[in-house]
Amino acid sequence: MSDRRRFLRVFAVLAVFGLGNVVRMIGRRGLETIRPVDAVQLVGTGMCLGAAIFALVLFLKSPRPS
């Protein structure tokens, strides 16, 4: 498997997890009732989306096979 395809798969998996968590957090009540578990989930969501963006940049930047 080439590095380009690997970066694309990593992007897809992390984006799905990150966007799934965002959708789940939007469905909850306001931030006035935030619990520590919610804060950890928010940090995890940010990490997933940040890593997905990084993998997408690496995918777009890597040389295309000839």
Of 43, 40, 47, which Cα lies nearest the Cα of 15?
47
Q: Is the pTM of this model over 0.95?
A: no
Q: What is the pLDDT of residue 32?
A: 66
Q: What is the pLDDT of residue 40?
A: 87
> Could you give the CA distance from residue 65 to residue 26 in angstroms, rounded to a whole number?
41
Q: What is the pLDDT of residue 28?
A: 72
Regions of the chain with pLDDT less than 50:
none
Residue spans per domain, the chain: 3-61
